[in-house]
Amino acid sequence: MNLKGINHITISVSNIEKSIEFYSKVFGAKLLVKGTEVGHRLAYFDLNGLWLALNAQDNIGRNEIHESYTHICFSIDEEDYEPELERLKELNIDIKEGRPRHEEEGRSIYFRDPDGHFFEFHTKTREGRIEFYKKNRPNLTFYI
């Protein structure tokens, strides 16, 4: 099989209107489609070329999501770290403390959407992180 990349990401939300506002303001996502009738409460966004889909499911449990480290991370430039952190604070976004890191690993802003889904803005690339690990984590096994 030859995967060509991510087609879309779908996130289950409890309140479609609240989530549309969050994803528009926090990510600058452009709303493409909105459906609010029963059975089709959804929103499709263009997030810098990524198809992001929200589907409303208001009658499911969401407690364990607050315990999980599962998250989606987006790259930002180092010089955008402080402005993004301030912007999220101004929007009253639920910002979470990240794990301690060495400065060569990059900096991260962790935050949650209204339903508790976890996101990260990170300043380093995958390649940069792997190089850091090669120098500083001798017990890891590398396949590249």
**Which residue among the candidates 105, 120, 127, 131 is catalytic per the annotation?**
120
What percent of the residues of the chain are helix, what percent strand, and what percent coil, each to the nearest 5? Answer: 30, 30, 40
| Nearest-angstrom CA–CA distance, 133 and 125 | 12
Tokens 């087609």 label which residue?
7
Whether 120 is catalytic is yes
Question: What are the φ and ψ backbone dihedral angles of 36, each rounded to 5 degrees?
Answer: -120, 0
Contact status, residue 110 vs residue 98, Cβ threshold 8 Å = yes
Catalytic residues: 120
